[in-house]
């Protein structure tokens, strides 16, 4: 059988009750802050911002890697241009621009 005797004094019991009320009031205040619409919106904004930052970071890494890969195609390890690759690409670009210009002139007549 459990011992139901309480050896606390009335003052100790009152102090315990006061402490429990204080803890309960603090807990209710915290719950009120957590469920407040501004808090919920602020948390949602923070999550979205974190996701955007993460996504932008990943995109930056991918773009940086792509630029490095393209650069490696046109520049050697010492940083000198690879003319054997640059010249053909430049000629193709000039040819495409020329064809586009010719096509625009013919349409304009």
The answer to whether 82 and 76 have CB atoms below 8 angstroms apart is: yes
| 88 domain-assigned | yes
**Predicted local distance difference test score (pLDDT) of residue 105:** 85
Domain that holds residue 100: 83-109
The overall pTM is greater than 0.75: no
- pLDDT exceeds 60 at position 1: no
| 31 domain-assigned | yes
| 3 domain-assigned | no
* Burial status of residue 75 (CB atoms within 10 A of its CB: 0-12, 13-18, 19 or more): middle
**Predicted local distance difference test score (pLDDT) of residue 4:** 59
Count of domains for the chain: 2
Residue 77's pLDDT band (boundaries 50, 70, 90)? confident
Q: What is the mean pLDDT of residues 63-78?
A: 91
| 7 domain-assigned | no
């Amino acid at each position: 059988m459990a011992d139901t005797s309480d050896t606390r004094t009335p003052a100790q019991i009152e102090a315990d009750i006061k402490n429990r009320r204080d803890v309960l009031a603090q807990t209710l205040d915290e719950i009120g802050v957590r469920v407040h619409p501004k808090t919920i919106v602020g948390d949602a904004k923070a999550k979205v911002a974190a996701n955007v930052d993460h996504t932008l970071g990943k995109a930056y890494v991918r773009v940086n890697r792509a630029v490095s890969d393209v650069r490696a195609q046109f520049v050697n390890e010492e940083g000198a241009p690879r003319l054997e690759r640059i010249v053909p690409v430049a000629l193709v670009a000039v040819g495409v621009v020329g064809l586009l210009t010719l096509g625009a002139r013919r349409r304009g007549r």
